[in-house]
Amino acid sequence: MGEIAARPGEESDGGAPEGSADEAAAPAPPPAEGPGPPGSEIPEPVDDVRSHDDVVEPDGEAVPAAGGDAGDEAQRAADQAAADLAAVKQWAAERAAAERAAGQAADEAAAAQAAADEAELERARAEQAAADLAAVREWAAQRAAAEQAAEEQAAQARADAEQAAADRAAAEQAEAERFAADRAAADRAAAGEAAVLAAERAAHQREVAEQAATAQRAAEQKAAAERADVARAQVEWAAGRHAAAAQPATQTPVEPAQRTPRPRPTPGPRARGASAAPPPGRRLAERPPHDGDDRPGRTRSRRRVVLVAALLALVLVAAGVLVTLRLTDRGGSTVAEDAEQVPDAVLPELSGPGPVLTELSADAPLPDPTVLAGVLSPLLAAPAIGGGLSAQVVDVATGQVLFDQDAADPSTPASTAKLLTGLAVLTTLDPTDTLTTTVVAGSTPGQVVLVGGGDPTLSSTAPSTDYPGAATVADLAAQVGQALGGQPVTGVVVDNSLFTGPLTASGWGADDAPSSYAAPVTATAVDGARVEPGESQRSGSPGTDAGRALAAALGAPDVPVELGQAPAGAPTLGTVESAPIDRLVEEALNASDNLLAESLGRQVAIARGLPASFDGAAEAITAALTDAGLDTTGMDVHDASGLSQDDRVPAQLLVDVVRVAADGSIDHADGLLSGLPVAGYDGTLAERVVAGGQAGPGTVRAKTGTLLGTNDLAGTVLTADGRLLAFAVMADGTVGSLTAGEGSLDVVADALAGCGCR
């Protein structure tokens, strides 16, 4: 027990053992890891500090330290503990400092980051504010520009309106002045014509008087000559009687029964101083005895009566001849004044005039359907016609279908729909009916109301430049002026209430009304709603235009014109009538007048008790065709003119309409044919003819139909063999130019006209 056993890890060679006081005096190395701040380490703590007085043996029993080494060991342990404690404190201080530094750095970093974030936020806010300000400025600039543009546009619109009003006022003033000038000129012309007629009448009377005086002088001279002849005859008779008395009595007198009447003495030339002698072969004893009325004085009286009667007859004949010659000369006679008269001329015997149009021969050969198909099929496949083709050809006399290509399929009819409207009008209304336009008194003194009757042909000129036989505003104004008795006109109201519903139909384009071919459909219009008579451009306000025309004709072009309704029971101031219905149908077909067709369609609706609107007219037209016995399957129309792109009609219905108009099976339907344009002559076919084609003059009569991508043709054609055919060709998929599509259909019609097809 005298030696101290070596501790594990210590060497016993007498050197300083591990863990000596020198090492204990040095700070313990910090651990590799610890919760301290970066760069600091926590020294490993001393778990159990034993006094160096005891040595622990393996069995756990303490072994007393040997001698004085125990005190040194204890001192070293204390020093080590103090050193460890100092190290721990230092570490704790360093760690606290490090933590404070780290916290301060973190705070500074956080503050810097916060400052940076705040700066970034402020920068973003500044940028956003700048962007917002720029956007606001741009918006303000745009709005200012828009407002300025709007102001300029409004100013321009006002200027245009003022200019238009000024132009209209000037035009109306010019029209009024022209009307007044025309009327003054007409009055002057009438006065001049009256003066001329009066002068001619006076000259004629003078000539008649001179002729009568001349005839009277001639008659008096003739009477004097006859009296002289009578006196000579009496002298001759007395001389003869004296000579007879001197003859022997043995001469046998002639019995009264054998006597012949004495011929009237005929004076002849004789020499001066020659004695009168009886005519050769005449015996004086043959003079008939006188009765009581055959005395010479009585005979002279009778002769005077005869002479006076002859004179009067001669005067009357001369006057009649003079009047006849004058009337003949005024009628435009081309006989020269010095023309030689031929009294013995023999005129040829004239017979009655023959008919201008003759009936078609019932024996004309019928085209063979197979041959006809061989002719038409290649023509109908022309590239310009495109797809969507339907066609039909029917013999009018027999009704036999000669050609059919999808004729039951509905297609866009375009203006060929006017054929349906025309037939509906002619079978619903009396062809002699007219459309009435009326003016009645307004609700205030001097105010007049123009009540539209659906007549768009009412003319602002006299006569009309667009519609032959149309009623005129001048006639209407003359009646109104007379009815007002000099009361000044203070205003014009236009009553369009006869027509209802929208002013344009479904399927019409935005640019269709107004345009050069259509206008809003109103019950009142003048000149077909044209802006100016004779022009093609239509107006967007037909009613007020008609009111202004009436105001100008009444001599009050500056009075207000407005739309309204006539007061109930207002007295009538004037009325005018249109041309007959059948004439209006002809005009609508020949010129393809859309507004006139729409107005006529509404008349059919009114007659059938339906609204006078687009829908009412479409329903009425369909019902009228059905009542006429036609099959309207597939017919779906939305207007009366065919301007709507939504209209659908099969080709076979168009052919049926044309056929019943041509064969006379429906009363008054023949009026449809007289309105069909004639190829190369008039209407919408005036400029459409195949140069050098087979169709003769007047052989193709058909209604045209044209819309964008649509070309139709339906009508009649007279073949080269004299057979009348009804046909319809509808192509609503044409490509290329308009003239190419029309030309392709013209070629088809020309081929039909020139086809014997047998």
Q: What is the pLDDT of residues 217-245, one digit of tens each?
A: 766 666 666 666 655 655 555 555 445 44
- Topology adopted by domain 369-427+632-753: Beta-lactamase (3.40.710)
Please tell me if the domain spanning 369-427+632-753 has the same topology as the one spanning 434-579.
no
Tell me how many degrees the CA angle 623-629-631 measures, rounded to the nearest 5. Answer: 75
Q: Which of 400, 491, 398 is nearest to 448 (CA)?
A: 491
Count how many Cα atoms sit within 13 Å of the Cα of residue 258 in the half-sphere of its side chain.
7
Cα distances (Å, whole numbers) of residue 286 to 221, 249, 253, 259, 296: 32, 15, 8, 6, 18
Helix (H) or strand (E) holding 172: helix 69-246
End-to-end CA distance of the chain: 158
Q: Which two tokens stand for residue 64?
A: 């007393």
| Regions of the chain with pLDDT less than 70 | 1-69, 149, 157, 159-161, 164-213, 215-216, 218-359, 691
Phi, psi of 391 (to 5 degrees): -155, 155
pLDDT at 514: 95
Query: Which of helix, strand or coil describes residue 357?
Result: coil
DSSP 285: G
Helix (H) or strand (E) holding 441: strand 436-441
Q: Which two tokens stand for residue 434?
A: 């007219």
Q: Which of 528, 370, 538, 541 is nearest to 456 (CA)?
A: 528
Q: Which residue has the tokens 């019943």?
A: 660
Residues with catalytic roles? 415, 418, 592
DSSP 613: S
Report the residue count for the chain: 758
Q: Are strands 572-577 and 436-441 parallel, antiparallel or unpaired?
A: antiparallel
pLDDT at 562: 96
- Say if domain 434-579 classifies as CATH 3.10.580.10: no
Name residue 650's beta-bridge partners.
410
E strands of 708-756, at which residues? 710-718, 724-731
The type of residue at 571 is P
Phi, psi of 293 (to 5 degrees): -100, 5
How many Å apart are CA 338 and CA 467, to the nearest integer?
45
Query: Which of helix, strand or coil describes residue 680?
Result: coil
Domain boundaries along the sequence of the chain: 369-427+632-753, 434-579
pTM: 0.57
